[in-house]
Structure 1
Amino acid sequence: MATAFSRFEFMIAWRYLRARRAEGGVSVMTWISLIGIALGVMALIATLAVRAGFRAEFVDTILGANAHTTVYMSPQRITNEFTDDVYVVPGRISDHQAVAAQLAQVPGVTGTAAVVKGQVMASANDASNVAEVYGIALEDLEEMPRIVNPDTSVGDLARFDDGIAIGSGIARELGVTVGDRIRLIAPEGARTAFGTTPRVNAYEVTYIFTAGRYDIDRTRIYMPLAEAQSYFNREGVVDEIEVFVDDPERVDDWTLPLMQAAGQGAQVWTWRDSSGAFLSALDMEDDVMFVILSVLVLIASMNITSGLIMLVKNKGRDIGILRTMGLTEGSVLRVFFLCGAFTGIIGTLAGVGLGVLLALNVDNIMAGLNALTGGGAWQPEVRGIYRLPADLRAWDIFRAVALSLTLSFIVTIFPARRAARMNPVEALRYE
């Protein structure tokens, strides 16, 4: 069976790569090419893994601590019959149990949760922090994996109805733990004959969670639904209904069915609406980083051309002898093509090994850098998440390998063709 490369072509190419000391320049260029390709592939694989891991962690924290989509009512315009002034008031859902039941009947919906939302000032131990309160039922809160994770939480979620659940960031800034009490101050408080006065209530902290997102842990408080309705003057109504679907990546497919199920005036806000711009920026950054690192791999591959040109000059006498012995131009081309291909393949394989090793240990590396820099290498308040994860994907490794080998093979063709077209008479004239 005929093959593209003969055995003796492999033998000659491998012999040429193992340059003797007198041809040390060729050996040095080969090593420079190999190391450059290995480092370029390593950087490409590690970068793609980190970018994929960052996106996966970011999306997981969104979906693990938030609804996939939210149904709410459009704001209402109310006209004062005495002054003709027009007021816009937020939409409320009065028959939320019936609406939630209708939404749950939509195919693909896995759960619904009625929610009351409001902003408060939380204070304890002479410290204060602005917080966002979510009024929700215990059985609905238990469906959020990032909130009920026992590995990152403190306290007893079963006692949620006796107090409130707060994020670890709030607990840290206020200096409280499970069993302590914090004061919540809401601007929309009790209505009296003299107007609305701020409402101040103290609640026991029964549960402290860590969702994995700095902005969530630092600002979010969960309160029992009935208590939140009373506290925020929402008796009998809720602000929105959170909906969970079986495929969050295709959440837009449920927008129209949910609006139809909720009735007239219903609006839908998905997790992609709130984070879509950031995710689009991440996707664009991934493409840009791939192009930039591809240029680095190309530059490293160009060293193969330099090394092969030197090799061809040094082996001019050998080429002439081989041609006079009957070696065809195609055989000479394949010999020098294999010289460059060997360098590209070995460098690519080394780069894959180094890239995988770096990606698997990137979290430990960042922890070490944080320890050396006092926490300056990774700042959760800037990045949003607490660690730098890596997600090795077979597709990313394949892209890096395909790019490196393709560039290595392409840049090898020119010097190999030059060697193949060398005139044996000219090569042996001065020998």
Structure 2
Amino acid sequence: MAKTPPPFSRFEWMIAWRYLRAKRSEGGVSVMTWISLIGITLAVFALIATLAVRSGFRSEFVGTILGANAHASLYSHGEVNLAGRLDRRIEDFDALAAAAREVEGVITAAPLVKGQVMASRGDRNAGAQVYGMRAEDLMQVPGVAGSSEAQGDLSRYGDGIAMGSGMARTLGVRVGDRIKLISPNGVRTAMGTSPRVNVYEVVYIFSVGRYDIDSTRVYMPFAEAQSYFNREGYADEVEVMVQDPEHVERLVLPLLQAAGGDYGVWTWRDASGSFLRALEVEDNVMFIILSILVLVATMNIVSGLVMLVKNKGRDIGILRTLGLSEGSVMRVFFLCGSLTGVVGTICGVILGCLFAIYIDPIFSFVNFAMGGGVWDPSIRGIYALPAELRAGDVITAVGLSLGLSFLVTIIPARRAARMNPVEALRYE
């Protein structure tokens, strides 16, 4: 009894490769097959590039937020004072910060004074958000203390102020220059409250990578901020940095228990949650759209394979007459179609990975070709288009492309296998 050859035997690969190499005049690969190959390449490239930019944008956005802002803030629920205003002052701020530092997973906790002022130098003005913080606590803020584009000496922080690079450009300020800070809630007199105007030396200029922070943020020594904003003896809130900011919500209850009073916790996810949710929805929609694009590209394989089956009807009849089973014929044409998907996917992965790796020079060239201004940091918040190539994203794109390519190939391959050899050879 003759031994049945195993599936995807060498002769099946040989026949499939022969059909793919055949010239158009010999009934070989059609124009539709080349179109499907190019379409799959471009679709996979677009999918990987989009996933890389999506991952890079989220990482950059979250990284710059966590690099300059508190992961969580402890604030007082407050009491209504005699003037009818809600007073949220924290008088035992050092004890509260010490209790927060005892919570497992907390790196540091620091009291903070916040206020809005007008910064002025010469005829230039800019709105500024002042953060009053101690020098040792400011050293724990990675986006400020670890800024790669920083200017000046942070060790002189006690002698002046630190400001963002965007505000420094707006005011035309360099390290060593002096600026005015004007607060509307200043000195209290018998005639009312007059604005407070103080002059400070700029000792440090930082860049955290976010336009809205670099263009508005000013750091002032904690004691000086208390005096400047009339906060003597108390703080506005306590900033907390944690080891795992992505899961900061796990520490909300422990922090509340450690505070042991009428306090609340506000995390970075509470502040930026709506944007992150909108970003997630946009990511999902873009993935669906690009997945449909991949499906459309793979559907072209069906057209090309149907034409190949039609052109090779005589060959199918001869092969069946020689003893090839329906399964063998099906696998031959399955290989013809799936190889198109495999080659297109490989080319698309290469292009997508190269795009993610060399996005900076590509973006610079596009910006130069368009005359500049392609990326506005005041709108998008970060200074450049980021991309982060992740193995999971590449595997997702490859799996989607190959899965669809193999799936759509089955239909015309089955049609070829079920072709009647008598009908195929009747008019030959």
Query: TM-score range with shorter-chain normalisation?
Result: over 0.9
What is the letter of the counterpart of residue 52 of structure 2? A
Give, in whole Å, the separation in 1 of the partners of 2:374 and 2:61. Answer: 18
Correspondence list, 1:293-372, <5 A? 293-372=290-369
Give, in whole Å, the separation in 2 of the partners of 1:224 and 1:172. Answer: 22
Give, in whole Å, the separation in 2 of the partners of 1:414 and 1:385. Answer: 48
Per-residue deviation, 1:365: 1.4
Correspondence list, 1:205-216, <5 A? 205-216=202-213
**Residue 241 of structure 2 is aligned to residue 238 of structure 1:** no
**Residue 40 of structure 2 is aligned to residue 37 of structure 1:** yes
Taking a change above 3 Å as real, the CA distance of residues 312 and 21 of structure 1, as seen in their structure-2 partners, is closer
8 Å contact 1:181–1:203 — kept in the other structure? yes
Give RMSD over aligned pairs. 1.3
SS at match of 2:350: helix
**Residue 370 of structure 2 is aligned to residue 373 of structure 1:** yes
8 Å contact 2:28–2:311 — kept in the other structure? no
Taking a change above 3 Å as real, the CA distance of residues 427 and 68 of structure 1, as seen in their structure-2 partners, is same
Give, in whole Å, the separation in 2 of the partners of 1:88 and 1:24. Answer: 86
Residue 63 of structure 1 corresponds to 66
SS at match of 1:251: helix
Give, in whole Å, the separation in 2 of the partners of 1:90 and 1:129. Answer: 28
SS at match of 1:221: strand
8 Å contact 2:186–2:195 — kept in the other structure? yes
What is the letter of the counterpart of residue 64 of structure 1? G
What is the letter of the counterpart of residue 234 of structure 1? R
Give, in whole Å, the separation in 2 of the partners of 1:296 and 1:425. Answer: 40
Taking a change above 3 Å as real, the CA distance of residues 150 and 109 of structure 1, as seen in their structure-2 partners, is closer
**Residue 409 of structure 2 is aligned to residue 389 of structure 1:** no
Per-residue deviation, 1:427: 0.3
Give, in whole Å, the separation in 2 of the partners of 1:130 and 1:71. Answer: 26
Correspondence list, 1:32-431, <5 A? 32-79=35-82, 87-431=84-428
What is the letter of the counterpart of residue 327 of structure 2? G
In the superposition, the TM-score normalised over structure 2's length comes to 0.97
**Residue 42 of structure 2 is aligned to residue 18 of structure 1:** no
Give, in whole Å, the separation in 1 of the partners of 2:336 and 2:346. Answer: 16
Give, in whole Å, the separation in 2 of the partners of 1:222 and 1:79. Answer: 31
Give, in whole Å, the separation in 1 of the partners of 2:108 and 2:52. Answer: 33
8 Å contact 2:40–2:341 — kept in the other structure? yes
Instruction: State how many pairs are aligned.
Output: 425
Give, in whole Å, the separation in 2 of the partners of 1:151 and 1:102. Answer: 33
Per-residue deviation, 1:79: 4.2
What is the letter of the counterpart of residue 96 of structure 2? V
- Give ranges in structure 1 of 5+ residues lacking alignment: 81-86
Residue 84 of structure 1 corresponds to none
Give, in whole Å, the separation in 1 of the partners of 2:372 and 2:208. Answer: 20
Per-residue deviation, 1:264: 1.9
Taking a change above 3 Å as real, the CA distance of residues 188 and 40 of structure 1, as seen in their structure-2 partners, is same
Per-residue deviation, 1:387: 1.1
Per-residue deviation, 1:28: 2.0
Give, in whole Å, the separation in 1 of the partners of 2:52 and 2:425. Answer: 53
Residue 83 of structure 1 corresponds to none
Taking a change above 3 Å as real, the CA distance of residues 372 and 20 of structure 1, as seen in their structure-2 partners, is closer
Per-residue deviation, 1:425: 0.5
Give, in whole Å, the separation in 1 of the partners of 2:93 and 2:116. Answer: 21
Per-residue deviation, 1:150: 4.8
Between the two proteins, what is the percent identity of the paired residues? Answer: 65
Give, in whole Å, the separation in 1 of the partners of 2:177 and 2:125. Answer: 15
Give, in whole Å, the separation in 2 of the partners of 1:411 and 1:62. Answer: 45
Give, in whole Å, the separation in 2 of the partners of 1:116 and 1:374. Answer: 43
In the superposition, the TM-score normalised over structure 1's length comes to 0.96
Give, in whole Å, the separation in 2 of the partners of 1:30 and 1:264. Answer: 71
8 Å contact 2:81–2:87 — kept in the other structure? no
